[in-house]
Structures are given as C-alpha cells and as structure tokens.
Amino acid sequence: MVTQTVLIFSVLFGLALSAHSSPSGGMLIPDIVNRLWINSDINDDSHLSETEFFREFIDNFDHDGSRSVSENEFVHQWGHNYNEHRDVTLHVFQHFDLDGDNMLSQADLSRLFHHMDYNTDNQISKAEFTTLMAYIFGRLPYD
Ligand SMILES: [Ca+2]
Ligand SMILES: [Ca+2]
Ligand SMILES: [Ca+2]
C-alpha cells in the first residue's frame, strides 16, 4: 500500500520534473552519495572532518541564519543539489535529525559524525560515509 502510494507519487513527480530528470525522479543513489561526498570534502583530502560536515550541512542548508536547518530548508536545498523527491529527502532529514525535534542542529550532526566514525580517528572516510548513506537509503520505504 505504501509502496503503491510512493510509486504513484514518484511517477507524478517524475513527470513534473521530466524536463531535467529521468521519469523515475532524481539521481541514482550511488551518484547522490558521490555528489554528497565531493560537496562535503571541501579541501579534497579524501577525508571528511567535523568542520567540513558542519559547513556542508549547516552553512549551505541554513538559509535564515539560525545555525540550524528546518525541514523546509533541508528539503529546499537537498532538492536543489540532488534533484531528489520530497519524500526521499524527508526520509534523509529524519535520519539526520537524531533528537527528532524537526530541526537539524550542530548537535545532531556531531552525534551523526561520531556515529559514522567507526575507527574513531575523528575523520570520516568515504567508506564510512558510504556505509551510513547506504544504510539510510537502504531503509527507504520502497525497493
Ligand atoms: Ca576533507
Ligand atoms: Ca534536531
Ligand atoms: Ca574515521
């Protein structure tokens, strides 16, 4: 039932965006993860520091200068960057918003960062990053 609803939504949304995306909607997930990684690793040293993580997901997404990211800000910027469906984007937002207060704060991202950092070297490797994103995208409500 949920799958069917999402599918119908995807088709409608895909048609609306067909001028610049495939009928199935946004980018392929490996492409999104690659793009996310390239955008986030600002100094291009193949590691993601906590500072880079904050810069990518707070500085870029926070449009009103509150130093935290609302659901609307997240959906707007993610959609702009990755051409992704609102429902997919909300799913990512809900995984990033660890305390569930509907705001993505530096505290949420810090917890997420240390959760991702399996070998506790205070840097996120692409493998660590991909593992988390695969987990999040793997839990999307459709296959
Ligand atoms: Ca880096
Ligand atoms: Ca939060
Ligand atoms: Ca690490």
pTM above 0.95, yes or no: no
**Exposed/middle/buried for 89, CB within 10 Å: 0-12, 13-18, 19+?**
buried
Name the token pair of 83: 């051409």
Q: Which residues pair with 104 in a beta bridge?
A: 69
Determine the length of the chain. 143
Closest among 32, 30, 10 to 87, alpha carbons compared = 10
Q: Which residues contact 49 (CB under 8 A, 6 or more apart)?
A: 122, 123, 124
User: Would you state the pLDDT for residue 120?
Assistant: 97
Alpha-carbon distance 60 to 92, whole Å? Answer: 16
Q: Using one digit for the tens of pLDDT, what is the confidence trace for 5-47?
A: 444 444 444 433 333 344 445 678 889 899 999 999 999 999 9
Write down the pLDDT at residue 46: 97
CA angle in degrees (0–180, nearest 5) for 44-46-83: 70
pLDDT at 61 over 70: yes
- In degrees and rounded to multiples of 5, residue 103 shows phi and psi of -130, 135
By the CB criterion, residues less than 5 angstroms from ion ligand 2 are: 97, 99, 101, 103, 105, 108
User: What is the CATH architecture assignment of 27-138?
Assistant: Orthogonal Bundle (1.10)
Q: How many whole angstroms from 75 Cα to the centroid of ligand 2?
A: 15
Measured in Å, residue 89 CA sits from the centre of ligand 3 at 25
71-123 per-position pLDDT tens digit: 999 999 999 998 888 998 999 999 999 999 999 999 999 999 999 999 999 99
Residue 114 alpha carbon to ligand 3 centre in Å:
8
Q: Let me know how many helices (H) and strands (E) the chain has, helices first.
A: 7, 2
Q: Any idea which residue has 């906590």 for tokens?
A: 50
Measured in degrees and rounded to the nearest 5, phi and psi for residue 104 equal: -90, 110
CA–centroid distance, residue 40 to ligand 3 (Å): 15
Q: What residues flank ion ligand 3 with Cβ within 5 A?
A: 117, 119, 121, 123
What was the pLDDT predicted at 25? 57
Q: Which ligand is nearest to the CA of 107?
A: 2
- pLDDT, position 142: 60
Domain ranges for the chain, please list them.
Answer: 27-138
